[in-house]
Amino acid sequence: MKNLKRTIAIVCGGDSSEHDVSMRSAQGLYSFFDKERYDVYIVEMKGYNWRVELADGTWAPIDRNDFSFMDNGKFVQFDYAYITIHGTPGENGILQGYFELIHLPYSTSGVLVEAMTFDKFVLNQYLRGYGVSVADSLLIRKGYETLVSDDEIEEKIGMPCFVKPAADGSSFGVSKVKNKDQLAPAIRKAIMESDDVMVEKFIEGTEISIGCYKTREKSVVFPATEVVTQNEFFDYDAKYNGKVTEITPARLSEETTARVKEITSRIYDILHCNGIIRIDYIISRGVGSNGEEVDKVNMIEINTTPGMTATSFIPQQVKAAGLNMTDVLTDIVENQFR
């Protein structure tokens, strides 16, 4: 009798500095998936080495021709890929293109959206055209660093500012620069992670992160998480080594909370996203049309393969919303087959 359970690949690893973080997200996702409904496997990718973990703890190679494998003599082909690679190739459209070629449904947005959201500079310029508030920024390309002088950066962007890889996943290679003498080493550090570097204006305010997903039947925006860190900014050390306080739901006014949710839902639709995304914002103080002081919602970046460990933002927000991660993942998978 044919197995009626769908076979799910949790695709993790990748080729960026966040390989190990991705592996932890895969373990989190594995714990959340409904095993009564799905046969779930963890697939690790690193370069050309693609392998799947079998039930007995051993690993088998993945056939890259069709993303299949042999499990103790039995041929297994996946019905669906849940991508949790942070960085290349799972967050920049490369892996999505492969899955499109072999006609395997997957959990993220499409090739173009993934490529665009992975490049922070491109994304910001695109969404600015839709009226989304983003920080001013400049792009510096590897090998052309001298085209923009330190004086120009100071004049156009101001100090302090952030120097970050334009195309990368987490917080590797990010520096907060307080004077122009710190620019050159910060740019060199960022170039080690990405050929394109973004120099971004510093916005003073409250940092929040908020998740969203949609299906044919529903639109869900989770409660936002407020990020309070002991460090200069929410860097890798703060993110993964506990030097941060995460408050869910964020301490925002009802009006600002509603506006953040509306903007998040709108961005999801503008980009025609799929699956769970997480958007980071800085809430700053600005002046309204009548001259009154108001909260200004500034988008910082979009994460299309957000962390999925038990303590990551999305599971926290799902719990705060009174929802269940298992049900959310089932929603996302089944939406592809309706």
Q: Which residues on adjacent β-strands are paired with residue 74?
A: 71
d(CA 149, CA 285): 30
Annotated binding residue 301: yes
Domain-terminating residue out of 201, 220, 252: 201
Catalytic residue among 16, 107, 175, 312: 312
- Whether residue 18 lies in the annotated active site: yes
Catalytic residue among 16, 18, 44, 194: 18
d(CA 43, CA 7): 12
- Classify residue 128 by burial, with Cβ atoms within 10 Å: 0-12, 13-18, 19+: middle
Element (H, E) at 122: helix 120-128
Residue 1 domain-assigned (yes or no): no
Quote the number of domains for the chain: 3
Element (H, E) at 39: strand 38-46
Residue 234 domain-assigned (yes or no): yes
Q: Are residues 226 and 319 in the same domain?
A: yes
Residue 268 domain-assigned (yes or no): yes
Q: Are residues 224 and 289 in the same domain?
A: yes
Q: Are residues 256 and 320 in the same domain?
A: yes
Say if pTM beats, i.e. exceeds, 0.85.
yes
Residue 67 domain-assigned (yes or no): yes
Q: Are residues 224 and 287 in the same domain?
A: yes
In this predicted model, what pLDDT tens digit does every residue of 153-178 receive, in sequence order? 999 999 999 999 998 655 688 999 99
Annotated binding residue 195: no
Which CATH number fits the domain that encloses residue 168? Answer: 3.30.1490.20
Q: Are residues 240 and 187 in the same domain?
A: no
Q: Are residues 71 and 154 in the same domain?
A: no
In this predicted model, what pLDDT tens digit does every residue of 58-75 receive, in sequence order? 999 999 999 999 999 999
Residue 245 domain-assigned (yes or no): yes
Residue 182 domain-assigned (yes or no): yes
* The two structure tokens encoding residue 162: 């952030």
Q: Are residues 208 and 314 in the same domain?
A: yes
- Whether residue 193 lies in the annotated active site: no
Q: Are residues 129 and 263 in the same domain?
A: yes
Q: Are residues 124 and 270 in the same domain?
A: yes
Annotated binding residue 49: no
In this predicted model, what pLDDT tens digit does every residue of 187-222 receive, in sequence order? 999 999 889 999 999 999 999 999 999 999 999 999
Domain-terminating residue out of 90, 107, 124: 107
Catalytic residue among 16, 25, 137, 170: 170
Residue 154 domain-assigned (yes or no): yes
Q: How many CB atoms lie within 10 A of CB 131?
A: 9
Residue 220 domain-assigned (yes or no): yes
Q: Residue 303's Cα: distance from chain center in Å?
A: 2
Which CATH number fits the domain that encloses residue 306? Answer: 3.30.470.20
Which CATH number fits the domain that encloses residue 96? Answer: 3.40.50.20
Domain-terminating residue out of 185, 201, 217: 201
In this predicted model, what pLDDT tens digit does every residue of 100-145 receive, in sequence order? 999 999 999 999 999 999 999 999 999 999 999 999 999 999 999 8
Q: Are residues 262 and 272 in the same domain?
A: yes
- Whether residue 107 lies in the annotated active site: no
Q: Are residues 181 and 220 in the same domain?
A: no
CA angle 11, 243, 44 (to 5 degrees): 10
* The two structure tokens encoding residue 300: 């910082």
Residue 11: C-alpha distances to residues 24, 275, 281 (Å): 12, 14, 28
In this predicted model, what pLDDT tens digit does every residue of 265-304 receive, in sequence order? 999 999 999 999 999 999 998 877 777 889 999 999 999 9
For every residue of 211-222, DSSP letters joined together read EEEE-SS-EEEP
Q: Which domain holds residue 46?
A: 6-107
Q: How many CB atoms lie within 10 A of CB 133?
A: 16
Q: Are residues 119 and 251 in the same domain?
A: yes
In this predicted model, what pLDDT tens digit does every residue of 312-334 receive, in sequence order? 999 999 999 999 999 999 999 99
